Amino acid sequence: MKFQLTNYRQQKIISDEVLIADLRKVAEANGGDDSRTLYDAKGEFSVSTFEKRFGSWYDALVVAGLNPRPKTQRNISDEVLLADLRRVAEANGGNVSMRTYNENGEFSSRTLANRLGSWNDALKAAGLAPKTQGNISDEDLLTDLRKVAEANGGNISKSIYEMNGEFRKETIIRRFGSWNDSLKAAGLPVRIRISDEDLLKDLHKVGDANGGNVSERIYKKNGAYRTSTIRGRFGNWNKALIASGFSPSQSRNSISSDDLLEDLRKSASKFGGRITLEQYNSVGKFSAKPFKERFGSWSKALISAGLEANLARNLSDDELFENLEEVWLKLGRQPKYVEFETLSRFSGATYAARFGSWKKAIEKFVEVANGESSEAELDEPTENSHPSIDSNEDSIVAKAAEANTLPSVEVGMKHKTKREISWRMRWKVISRDYYKCVACGRAPAKDPSVELHVDHIKPWSKGGETVLENLQTLCGTCNLGKGNLE
Q: CB count, 10 Å around CB of 141?
A: 20
pLDDT at 397 > cutoff 50: no
Q: Which of 257, 307, 328, 387 is nearest to 62 (CA)?
A: 328
Decide: residue 392, CB within 10 A, 0-12 exposed, 13-18 middle, 19+ buried.
buried
pLDDT band at 481 (very low <50, low <70, confident <90, very high): low
- The predicted model gives 228-254 an average pLDDT of 75
pLDDT band at 471 (very low <50, low <70, confident <90, very high): very high
Which pLDDT score is estimated for 135?
Answer: 67
Stretch among 103-112, 256-265, 368-377 having the lowest mean pLDDT:
368-377
Q: Are 474 and 438 in contact (CB under 8 A)?
A: yes
pLDDT at 381 > cutoff 50: no
Q: Are 321 and 314 in contact (CB under 8 A)?
A: no
Cα dihedral 223, 229, 234, 239, rounded to 10, equals 40
**Span 351-367, pLDDT tens digits:** 887 888 888 888 888 88
Identity of residue 247: S
pLDDT at 315 > cutoff 60: yes
**Radius of gyration over every alpha carbon of the chain, rounded to an integer in angstroms:** 28
Which pLDDT score is estimated for 473?
Answer: 92
Domain positions in the chain are 8-63, 73-125, 133-185, 196-249, 253-304, 312-369, 378-482
Which pLDDT score is estimated for 190?
Answer: 79
Instruction: Tell how strand 413-417 and strand 452-456 pair up.
Output: unpaired
**Span 169-190, pLDDT tens digits:** 888 888 888 888 888 899 988 7
Which pLDDT score is estimated for 123?
Answer: 87
Stretch among 196-200, 287-291, 364-368, 462-466 having the lowest mean pLDDT:
287-291
Q: pTM for the complete prediction? A: 0.38
Identity of residue 318: D
Stretch among 267-271, 328-332, 385-389, 458-462 having the lowest mean pLDDT:
385-389
Stretch among 278-282, 396-400, 426-430, 437-441 having the lowest mean pLDDT:
396-400
> What average pLDDT is seen over the chain?
75
Find residue 291's DSSP bridge partners.
Answer: none
